[in-house]
């Protein structure tokens, strides 16, 4: 960790790290699911079954949004892509809330407003 991070911003820094880490794990799992479905992986195989079982709770809210496209044994599961986008947006929104909750000094706020304006 950087030495210039103050004790005030350390929880913010750690919180954003945790959110990005969780998002990375979710996105990786969803990417594996998408690729396995796309390549027509055997759902009874141990690894495929493991990925489908772990990822099902993440994609289940989105399963009926789009029709599943099947091409010669391959499945293009657009709902998995949608789930990945939604989870990315939720993580981004959480990070924005963390940043907005950070206390800001008056000079720091003035500098940021000058830079934006």
Q: Measured between alpha carbons, how far is 94 from 89 in angstroms, rounded to an integer?
A: 9
pTM: 0.76
**Residue 74 near residue 41, CB atoms below 8 Å:** no
Beta bridge pairs of residue 76: 69
Annotated domain spans of the chain: 10-116
4: CB partners within 8 A, 6+ apart: none
Averages of pLDDT over runs of 10 residues in the chain (117 residues) are 57 84 97 94 94 96 88 88 96 88 66 70
CA 23 to chain centre: 3
What is the model's pLDDT at position 1? 46
Q: What is the DSSP code string of 35-46?
A: HHHHTT--TTSH
E strand map for 1-117: 69-71, 74-76
């Amino acid at each position: 960790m950087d030495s210039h991070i103050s004790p005030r911003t350390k929880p913010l820094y750690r919180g954003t790290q945790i959110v990005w880490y969780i998002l990375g794990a979710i996105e990786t799992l969803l990417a594996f699911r998408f690729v396995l479905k796309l390549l027509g992986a055997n759902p009874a195989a141990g690894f495929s079954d493991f990925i489908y079982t772990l990822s099902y709770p993440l994609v289940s809210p989105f399963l009926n949004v789009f029709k599943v496209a099947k091409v010669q044994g391959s499945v293009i599961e657009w709902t998995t892509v949608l789930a990945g986008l939604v989870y990315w947006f939720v993580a981004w929104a959480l990070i924005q809330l963390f940043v907005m909750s950070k206390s800001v000094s008056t000079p720091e706020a003035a500098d940021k407003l000058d830079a934006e304006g």
